[in-house]
Amino acid sequence: MFSVVRISRRGALGSILLSALLLSSSSIFSSDEANSLRPYHHVANGFINPENSYKRSVSTFQRMNFFRKFVWKGLVDRVPKDLSDHVIDNAGATLLLNSFVGHDSITWVGHSTFLVSLDGMNILTDPVFSRRVSPFSFAGPRRKVSLGLEISDLPRIDVVIVSHAHYDHLDTKTLDRLPNKSSITVIVPLGLGKYFTKRNYGKVYEVDWYDNIEVGDLSVTAYPAIHWSNRTPFDVNKSLWMSYGLSLGGVSIFHTGDTGIHEQVFKDIGSHMLEKHGGCDIGLMSIGAYDPREFMRGAHMDPEEGFEVGKQVGCKKMIPMHWGTFKLSFEPFYEPRDRFVSAAGPMARVLKIGETIPIDRPFNK
């Protein structure tokens, strides 16, 4: 029987409850005692952002106006004709990926999806390989550029990490198609384990902020993010959202998930990354879907904010993501990349979709 393991970080109680869970057939843990100790971001009907986060206030009129413009822009906006500096074709991407077999590497599949290979372990983040990020096959944001790599091109996946429930980060069609599900360890925010247990994935960990999971020598920590979650109008913020850090073999990586900025949260994450993961070698920074700013502020960073968050975490180099894949907002196609490079300078390392680079010397050009 496949089960969800909920990790608690609250002292001896957490160890006792986890042991009891592992010995039982119950799929998800809950108890009155644990609820009495719940942290500030746990509320009666779900979860909230960290204290002192930007309070989004989006009126119904603003939402309707955004979606009206979104539909119109989807009809008239065009992707640049020349994508040679942005996408590697399938043959080239596959050849490049295969050239790094047995070596530490990182591949940008597109949007927030990365393949990270460290010490022979293959980690897939926010896996999305579908043509649309939507509950519908006929409507919703469509992939604007080709996939450099298909699922069939991937090596055997050991670990999947998902940041939150939105369709451009949790894609059930991709989850259905991933091979060797029963041998994959999954790390997801509280409330999302069911999407994996029903598909017979292997060990599934539902995690809270600052929980840590060890998979062999891989260490993964769930960190806060400034965002929200839902998949329907009826489950808003019923599941948690997160950024995360991971380390293996002396390499440490931070993935922002989707997030807004915060005056303290990412400094705290940086301190914890330094203690737990030896710092942050590579930051995977979300920089797209920010225009109109009054609509997106508090949920998505603009490119300059992405750079500032990377500095707060202490990342030595930063790879921009969450841009140039799906049309989710109104900024021009290449603007996120160009503004990020202008802000981050030599700390930026832009990847093409489908590009694989070595991690032992990834930023040498």
Q: Which residues pair with 139 in a beta bridge?
A: none
> Where residue 70 sits, what CATH number does that domain have?
3.60.15.10
pLDDT tens per residue across span 249-299: 999 999 999 999 999 999 999 999 999 999 999 999 999 999 988 889 999
Same domain, 144 and 178: yes
**Taking all residues of the chain, what is their mean pLDDT, rounded to a whole number?**
88
Q: How far apart are CA 213 and CA 203, in angstroms?
A: 11
Cβ neighbours of residue 92 closer than 8 Å, sequence gap 6 or more: 148, 354
Asked whether residue 44 is domain-assigned, the answer is no
Measure the CA–CA gap between 102 and 220, rounded to whole angstroms: 21
Which residues of 4-161 form beta strands (DSSP E)? Answer: 4-6, 42-43, 46-47, 105-110, 113-118, 121-125, 159-161
Regarding whether 30 and 65 lie in a shared domain, the answer is: no
**Alpha-carbon gap, residue 144 to 313, rounded angstroms:** 31
* CA nearest neighbour of 241 among 32, 75, 53, 93: 53
In a domain, 364, yes or no: no
Residue 111 lies in a domain: yes
3-state secondary structure of 26: coil
Mean pLDDT across the stretch 58-72?
71
User: Is residue 46 assigned to a domain?
Assistant: no
- Percent of the chain exceeding pLDDT 90 equals 75
> Each residue of 183-206: pLDDT tens digit?
999 999 999 999 999 999 999 999
Q: pLDDT, tens digit, for every residue of 231-254? A: 999 999 999 999 999 999 999 999
Tell whether 4 and 106 lie within a shared domain: no
Instruction: Say if residue 15 is in the same domain as residue 125.
Output: no
pTM: 0.89
Assess whether 131 and 11 both reside in one domain.
no
Question: Does residue 37 surpass a pLDDT of 50?
Answer: yes
Tell how many helices (H) and how many strands (E) occur in the chain: 10, 16
At 139-189, the pLDDT tens digits run 888 899 999 999 999 999 999 999 999 999 999 999 999 999 999 999 999
159 and 254 both lie in a single domain: yes
In a domain, 94, yes or no: yes
Please compute the mean of the pLDDT values over residues 347-358 and round it to a whole number: 98
Task: Mark whether 104 and 29 lie in a shared domain.
Answer: no
> What is the mean predicted confidence (pLDDT) over 335-350?
98
Mean pLDDT score, 9-33: 33
Question: 212-238: buried (b, 16+ CB within 10 Å) or exposed (e) per residue?
Answer: ebebeebbbbbbbbbbbbbbeeeeebb
CA 273, distance to chain mean position in Å, is 17
> Closest Cα partner for 216 from 254, 247, 192?
247
Quick check: 352 pLDDT over 70?
Answer: yes
Do both 16 and 63 map to the same domain?
no
Domain encompassing residue 333: 59-358
Q: Is residue 164 part of a domain?
A: yes
51 lies in some domain:
no
- Number of domains within the chain: 2
Q: What is the pLDDT of residues 287-308, one digit of tens each?
A: 999 998 888 999 999 999 999 9
pLDDT value, residue 3: 63
Query: Residue 365 falls within a domain, yes or no?
Result: no
